[in-house]
């Protein structure tokens, strides 16, 4: 990645290749940023602790660049272990001695709803910040912002779902359960959906009475910091939300092992999730992990092929293919295979890839140089393994991290491009003859995050959905999320769920009370 840490004992300038890396002993806590669409705003650069933006203890900073131009946007302060300690102490104090966890849940809901309204007021600016920082098309970014706002509002209205039950144990005792918050929750979010993942983590933790220390991805910290400008105005007290920007090996490691952190929520790669799981075990933290995927997208011959192609495009190219639930393995019934491939290739080649601020752009930049290089390396692997490159597979232009939508055909199930998560706009297409065969092919993976089914035969769709090892199954749609519908995976795709009542349960623990009656 191009975000690099620099020691800030004094002001310094360094060069790595063509990139200028600056370090400031007194970096301002906000800097002016002018966006490509002409909007201007003040970008917070500090850590957010106790409702204040503050410099890191060591005054270290790291560079944030635009994936579409490869130019520096700004520097932000880099948190380290001592900053995590300060943030956790603030969160712990707010939980133990503050009133956030003890007030009427309706008051927490009101504050969360107010936060959503403040974000709604700046929705276009938030979308523009996402596009600048992440490289995604502005239309995608607007969708992310609306989903984030909707989820905050939905969670704010879910306070009546945080309840227990009365248990009939006879007339000698009164027995009941109640759900209580856990305490300080450490949260680590990825770079593909910075603001949306912020909302998916913050909302259920806050509405259930917990406090939070969150680490945004080092490649995309800007929107997570910006929305913290609204926290106090929304009525959320100091210490409830804390943001520590920095690197996973330092901030993420510290959060996952910290004795005062009672829960870790992580979204990212399976390998990192396993590492965090092991760290969390040392202090028996509650944990939720939303990890990788290699999701099958299944098309039957009786499907509306135009609709299936549109859903396949949304399933693999949306957000530049940087979606854990991407439908990256397409299985088409043999009699419809040739027609589907022709339609998908034609549609893929018409997609506009480029300037993410252009309203007509469908696919923006990959978020980092590392990710672009990884995707291109998988294109080489596919060719070496004998797959047929139907279209794409090339970097677009010499500036910015752009790649053409890519389709591989003539693949076998043992190929790496079929087995391994690429996390980019690369899809493989295979044929199937029978329902049993496609079930076997679809389930031949360590992952189990999502799946798609396209057919006009509802009986087949339901039968197949029941047999797929996937946490989410979309029928005649894809990447179709709703705040009330839980999302999460089987197997190597993770533990626990985002959204829905299930997310609230992840942030509470059950207390049983049994009173003997006279």
- The Cα 33–Cα 44 span in angstroms is 10
DSSP 110-149: HHHHHHHHHHHHTHHHHHHHHHHHH---HHHHHHHHHHHH
Query: Of 130, 290, 322, 333, which one is the catalytic site residue?
Result: 290
Buried b (16+ CB within 10 A) or exposed e, 60-85: bbbbbbbbbbbeebbbbbbbbbebbe
- The Cα 62–Cα 3 span in angstroms is 6
Phi-psi region of 451 (alpha: psi -120 to 50; beta: other; left: phi over 0): beta
Residue 206 in 3-state DSSP?
A: helix
Dihedral of alpha carbons 466, 470, 471, 472, sign: negative
Residue 290 among the catalytic residues:
yes
Dihedral of alpha carbons 396, 402, 404, 407, sign: positive
- The Cα 70–Cα 410 span in angstroms is 35
- The Cα 26–Cα 9 span in angstroms is 10
- For the stretch 162-168, contacts whose Cβ atoms lie closer than 8 Å and that sit 24 or more positions apart, written own/partner, are 162/105, 162/207, 162/208, 162/504, 162/508, 164/510, 164/511
The secondary element (H helix, E strand) that includes residue 261 is strand 261-267
Residue 182: how many CA atoms within 13 Å on its side-chain side? 23
Query: What number of other Cβ atoms are within 10 A of residue 18's Cβ?
Result: 6
The pair phi, psi for residue 508, each rounded to 5°, is: -135, 165
DSSP 398-421: SSSS-B--EEEES--TTSHHHHS-
- The Cα 390–Cα 410 span in angstroms is 9
**CB-count exposure of residue 34 (10 Å: 0-12, 13-18, 19+):** exposed
428 DSSP 8-state letter? E
Helix ranges restricted to H, 329-368: 337-350
Task: Indicate which residues carry an active-site annotation.
Answer: 290
């Amino acid at each position: 990645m191009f975000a690099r840490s620099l020691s800030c004992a004094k002001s310094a300038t360094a060069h790595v290749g063509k990139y200028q890396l600056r370090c400031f002993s007194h970096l301002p806590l906000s800097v002016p940023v002018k966006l490509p669409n002409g909007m201007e705003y003040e970008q917070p650069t500090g850590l957010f602790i106790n409702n204040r933006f503050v410099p890191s203890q060591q005054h270290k900073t790291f560079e944030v660049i635009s994936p579409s131009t490869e130019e520096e946007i700004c520097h932000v302060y880099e948190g380290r272990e001592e900053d995590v300690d300060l943030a956790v102490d603030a969160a712990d104090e707010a939980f133990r001695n503050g009133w956030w966890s003890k007030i009427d849940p309706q008051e927490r809901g009101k504050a969360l709803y107010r936060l959503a309204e403040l974000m709604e007021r700046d929705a276009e600016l938030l979308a523009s910040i996402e596009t600048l920082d992440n490289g995604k098309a502005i239309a995608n970014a607007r969708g992310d912002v609306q989903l984030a706002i909707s989820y905050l509002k939905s969670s704010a209205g879910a306070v009546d779902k945080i309840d227990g039950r009365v248990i009939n144990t006879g007339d000698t005792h009164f027995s009941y359960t109640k759900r209580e918050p856990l305490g300080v929750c450490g949260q680590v979010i990825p770079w593909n959906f910075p603001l949306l993942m912020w909302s998916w983590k913050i909302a259920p933790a806050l509405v259930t009475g917990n406090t939070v220390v969150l680490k945004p991805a080092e490649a995309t910290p800007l929107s997570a910091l910006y929305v913290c400008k609204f926290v106090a105005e929304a009525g959320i007290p100091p210490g409830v939300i804390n943001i520590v920007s920095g690197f996973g090996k330092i901030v993420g490691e510290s959060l996952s092992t910290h004795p005062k952190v009672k829960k870790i929520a992580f979204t990212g790669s399976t390998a990192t999730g396993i590492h965090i799981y092991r760290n969390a075990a040392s202090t028996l933290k509650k944990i939720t992990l939303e990890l990788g995927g290699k999701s099958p997208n299944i098309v039957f011959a009786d499907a509306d092929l135009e609709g299936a192609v549109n859903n396949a495009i949304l399933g693999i190219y949306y957000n530049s293919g940087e979606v854990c639930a991407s439908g990256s393995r397409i299985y088409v019934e043999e009699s419809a295979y040739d027609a589907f491939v022709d339609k998908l290739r034609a549609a893929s080649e018409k997609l506009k890839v480029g300037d993410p601020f252009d309203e007509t752009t469908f696919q923006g930049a990959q978020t980092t140089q590392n990710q672009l290089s990884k995707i291109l390396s998988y294109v080489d692997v596919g060719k070496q393994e004998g797959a047929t490159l139907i279209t794409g597979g090339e970097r677009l232009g010499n500036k910015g991290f752009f790649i053409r939508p890519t389709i591989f055909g003539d693949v076998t199930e043992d190929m790496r491009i079929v087995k391994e998560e690429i996390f980019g706009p690369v899809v493989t297409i295979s044929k199937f003859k029978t329902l049993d065969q496609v079930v076997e092919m679809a389930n031949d993976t360590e992952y189990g995050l999502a799946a798609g089914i396209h057919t006009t035969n509802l009986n087949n769709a339901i039968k197949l959905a029941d047999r797929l090892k996937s946490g989410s199954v979309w029928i005649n749609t894809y990447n179709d999320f709703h705040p009330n519908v839980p999302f999460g995976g089987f197997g190597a795709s993770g533990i626990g769920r985002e959204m829905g009542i299930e997310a609230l349960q992840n942030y509470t623990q059950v207390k049983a009370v049994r009173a003997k009656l006279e």
